[in-house]
């Protein structure tokens, strides 16, 4: 039998495939059947938060920052409660990262403010003198791509059943609804409302002016996203 396999390249290839597919079948398939139910209190991302998340991905923040708190005292002391699977239920893609050149960000919204992020993103060394993080000044002048963020929300709702416009249970027993705009124009209007709330705590006059004009710089979206990480 082995001999025959060695001389018949097609069946040999099939044999190799079976052997290498084996682990994937055992490990991954069963988990898919039951994983990733959202924990109570986890809501889908708003349009502005998605735009911020896209900015986070665009600049590969995940190359240096993890979003995964391991269940050790040293980590929970530093970053907060360890991460739970259901907290990531709406994360497409996941952003756990694999390297902590900078600190974990999974609960950064609990201990950093809008103002802190604003100053830090513009010039990290102004806040942490020996930081090796580069500044991201272009995020203050480049506008966030709200159209694509809206398209991403629609895709999540239409292809993966993410519960937009539906009540989502919260920790205190109440429910909350994350609204999804009916049209591009409405999505823009909703994102702008959120942006105004963020900008109220910011100092940069150019960013404030831009939002007043109806534009949304990337930094505003990014801060909305980072503030939501709790």
**Residue 227, exposed/middle/buried by CB under 10 A (0-12, 13-18, 19+)?**
buried
- We find the least distance from the C-beta atom of residue 38 to another protein, in angstroms, to be 9
The H or E element containing residue 177 is: strand 175-177
Cα torsion angle, 179, 215, 210, 60, sign:
positive
Nearer residue to another protein within complex by CB, 58 or 208: 58
For residues 50 and 153, is the Cβ–Cβ distance under 8 A?
A: yes
Tell me how many residues contact another protein (CB under 8 A). 97
Judged by CB under 8 A, the chain residues 85 through 114 that form the site for another protein are 85-103
Q: Would you count residue 205 as binding another protein (CB under 8 A)?
A: no
- We find the least distance from the C-beta atom of residue 213 to another protein, in angstroms, to be 21
- Phi, psi at residue 143, to the nearest 5°? -85, 145
Q: Would you count residue 58 as binding another protein (CB under 8 A)?
A: yes
Q: Which of 145, 207, 224, 227 touches another protein by CB under 8 A?
A: 145
Nearer residue to another protein within complex by CB, 111 or 197: 111
Report CA-CA distances (Å) from 211 to 58, 105, 186, 226.
21, 26, 16, 19
Q: Which of 45, 140, 150, 225 touches another protein by CB under 8 A?
A: 150
Q: Would you count residue 72 as binding another protein (CB under 8 A)?
A: yes
Q: Would you count residue 126 as binding another protein (CB under 8 A)?
A: no
């Amino acid at each position: 039998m082995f001999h025959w396999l060695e001389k018949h390249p097609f069946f040999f290839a099939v044999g190799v495939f079976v052997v290498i597919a084996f682990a994937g079948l055992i490990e991954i398939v069963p988990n898919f059947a039951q994983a990733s139910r959202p924990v109570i209190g986890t809501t889908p991302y708003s349009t502005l938060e998605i735009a911020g998340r896209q900015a986070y991905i665009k600049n590969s923040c995940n190359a240096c920052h993890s979003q995964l708190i391991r269940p050790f005292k040293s980590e929970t002391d530093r970053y907060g409660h360890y991460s739970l699977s259901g907290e990531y239920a709406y994360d497409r893609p996941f952003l756990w990262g694999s390297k902590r050149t900078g600190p974990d960000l999974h609960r950064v919204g609990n201990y950093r403010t809008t103002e802190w992020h604003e100053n830090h993103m513009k010039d990290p060394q102004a806040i942490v003198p020996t930081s090796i993080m580069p500044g991201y000044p272009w995020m203050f002048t480049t506008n966030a791509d709200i159209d694509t963020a809206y398209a991403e929300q629609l895709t999540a709702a239409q292809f993966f059943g993410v519960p937009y416009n539906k009540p989502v249970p919260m920790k205190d027993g109440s429910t909350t609804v994350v609204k999804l705009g009916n049209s591009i124009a409405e999505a823009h209007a909703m994102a702008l409302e959120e942006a105004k709330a963020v900008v109220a705590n910011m100092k940069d006059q150019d960013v404030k002016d831009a939002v007043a004009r109806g534009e949304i710089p990337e930094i505003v979206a990014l801060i909305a996203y980072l503030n939501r990480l709790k």
